[in-house]
Amino acid sequence: MNGSKSVIEPSMETIVSLCKRRGFIFQSSEIYGGCNGFFDYGPLGVELRKNIKDAWWHDIVHCREDVVGIDCSIIMHPKVWQASGHIGGFSDPMVDCKESKLRYRADQLFFGEVIVAGENIGYISLLENGNMQTEADEKADSLKRKLGKQGLLEKVVLKPYTEAKPHEYILIPSPGTGKAGSLTPPRDFNLMFQTYIGALRDESAIAYLRPETAQGMFVNFRNVVDTSRVKVPFGIAQMGRSFRNEITPRNFVFRSREFEQMEMEYFIAPDADWEKLHADWIESRLNWHKSIGLREELLGLDVHPKNKLAHYSRACTDITFKYPFGVQELEGIAARGCFDLTQHQEASGKSLEYFDEEKKAKYLPHVIEPAVGVDRIFLAILCSAYDEDEIEGEKRTVLRFHPRMAPIKVGVFPLVKNKPELVEKSRNLYKKLQRRWPVAYDAAGAIGRRYRRMDEVGTPFGVTIDYETLENGTVTLRDRDTTKQIRLNETELFQFLDEKINP
C-alpha cells in the first residue's frame, strides 16, 4: 500500500525523461529551441500541480480558523518593492566568464587551491553540486599530474567565489573553459524582471513582476483586518506566480525564472512567544510534507546561524529535501519581526497598526512566514514516488504517489473490449467516477499492459469490469503498490476510494 518504502533514489536524467515521456513537464517554447528557466506543465503535470496547491490551500486556509486567503496582482506599485528592500537589495552575486560569455552565480561557483607538498600549484573551480568534494579532489589530482608535481596532494578546501581574494580572480579557472584569467570579480545583479506600465517607456512607468507573493499580504494587511473577523494571531495566505531573473536557472524546475509560491504571513503580537510559534510552524509544515508523500528520510531541517540572518530576521529554518543534485531548500520558515509592516507604514504614510481589543493596545504585529515553492514540492514528490520493481518477471516503473497527489486516481478497464456488456458497464462506472475524481478509461491491449501504463503515471487504483461483474455487480480493485486485488460492490468501491483519496 501507499507508504511502502521505496529504495530507489532516481537520477535527475530519469526524472526529466519520465516527465517528458509521460507529459508531466515540457520545456517552454520547445519547438523554438526552448526558453531557459521556463517550463510548461503537461496534462499530468497540471493535475499534480493542482493537487499540491489544493492540498496546501485546504490544509492551511480551509482547515484552520485563523487563516484567510487573498489573491493579489502580479504587478504592484513600484513603491512596494522600494519599501520592501527588493529594488535596493534583491540581488545575487554574479560572475562573468569573458571568454565563454557564460554567467555564474558567484555563491554557486566554488574554487580551491591545489596544494602539493605544501606548495600552491594552481586552482580548480566547479559549480555547486552534491558531489563537489570528490570532483574537486579529482581535478586537483589531474592538475598535479599535468604539471608533473611530486609529493602529497592536500584535500582541496572549497570556498564560494564570493570569498575569493581580489588577487585570486585571475588565478581561478573558469568552469566553462577550464582556463584562468577570464572570470570577472563578483558583482550584484538584481533579480527582478522589469516592465513598463502604460504606453510611456520612461522612468516613471517602470514596474516589476513580483519576485515573491509575500508583499501582497503586507500591503493588504489593513484591508484584511478591516473586512474580515480576524484577530491576532492570524494568517493571510496566498499562492501565485513569482518571477526571478535567476542568473543560472538549473536543476529542472527547482530553480526557474517563473515559478509558483505558496506563502503565509502569520501575524502575532510583539510580546508573543515567537520562538514557540516558529517551532510549531516548522513542525506543522514538516508533517504536511510527509502527509503528501514526501519521503521522510529525504526531508531535513537547516537552521540558519544567527550571523547569516538578514538584519530584520529573528530566526529562519529551512525544510530541506535531498534532491538527486543534493540537499536543498524546499521551504523557508522565517520569523521576520515587524520589518515589512514598518517599512510599508513608513513609505505609504498609512497606519498599519493593529488595535488589540483584549490588550487594549495598538501595535505593529510581528510575523512568522512559511514560504514554499510549488515546483520544488512537485520535484520532491516525483523523486519520492519514483520506484522500480519486478512483477511476474517483468521490470516495472512505478510512481508511488500518495492517492491525494496522484494526477489520475482510478483507471477503469473492461476485461476485454469486444464484449459490449463489459464495455457498457465500464463506461457507466467511468462516467460515475469521473464526477468525483480525475479517472482514466483504457480498453486497449492486455490487461497487464494497461495496469503498467497506469503504474508508470502513478494511478493508485485500477478497477476491472469482468464476467463476475455481470453476475453480481462486483468489480476487481487493484492496488498499484501491492498489486493485490479485492472485489467490491459499487457502494463499497466509492467508500473505499473516498477514504483513500480524501483522507
Minimal distance, residue 367 CB to ligand ATP, in Å: 13
Look at strands 410-414 and 461-465 and give their pairing.
parallel
Q: Are 254 and 287 a contacting pair, CB within 8 Å?
A: no
Return the closest-CA partner of residue 310 out of 341, 275, 284, 335.
335
Which residue's Cβ lies closest to ligand ATP?
A: 373
Among 105, 144, 222, 255, binds ligand ATP (CB under 6 A): 255
Look up cell 529551512; give the residue: 318
Residues 319-338, one symbol each (x = binds ligand ATP by CB under 6 A, - = not), give ----------xxxx------
Minimal distance, residue 267 CB to ligand ATP, in Å: 18
Q: Cell digits for 38? A: 521556463
Minimal distance, residue 466 CB to ligand ATP, in Å: 46
128 is a contact residue toward ligand ATP (CB under 6 A) = no
Of 94-102, 132-140, 352-360, 369-377, the window that binds ligand ATP (rule: CB under 6 A) is 369-377
Residues in 93-112 at the binding interface with ligand ATP, rule: CB under 6 A: none
Alpha-carbon torsion 32, 34, 40, 44, what sign? positive
340 is a contact residue toward ligand ATP (CB under 6 A) = no
Minimal distance, residue 214 CB to ligand ATP, in Å: 8
256 is a contact residue toward ligand ATP (CB under 6 A) = yes
The strands making up 187-190's β-sheet, listed across from edge to edge, are: 103-105, 91-96, 187-190
Q: Report the C-alpha gap between 340 and 362 in whole angstroms.
A: 17
Among 210, 244, 322, 402, binds ligand ATP (CB under 6 A): 244
Task: Choose between 326 and 438: whose C-beta lies nearer to ligand ATP.
Answer: 326
259 is a contact residue toward ligand ATP (CB under 6 A) = yes
Burial class for 26, CB neighbours closer than 10 Å (0-12, 13-18, 19+) = middle
Q: Are 346 and 322 a contacting pair, CB within 8 Å?
A: no
210 is a contact residue toward ligand ATP (CB under 6 A) = no
DSSP codes joined into one string, 161-191 = GGG--GGGTTTSBPTTTS-BS-BPPPEEEE-
Burial class for 293, CB neighbours closer than 10 Å (0-12, 13-18, 19+) = buried
Minimal distance, residue 331 CB to ligand ATP, in Å: 5
Minimal distance, residue 324 CB to ligand ATP, in Å: 16
Residues in 370-409 at the binding interface with ligand ATP, rule: CB under 6 A: 371-373, 375-376
Q: Report the C-alpha gap between 274 and 232 in whole angstroms.
A: 13
Minimal distance, residue 265 CB to ligand ATP, in Å: 13
Residue numbers at the binding site for ligand ATP (CB under 6 A): 212, 244, 246, 255-256, 259, 261, 329-332, 371-373, 375-376
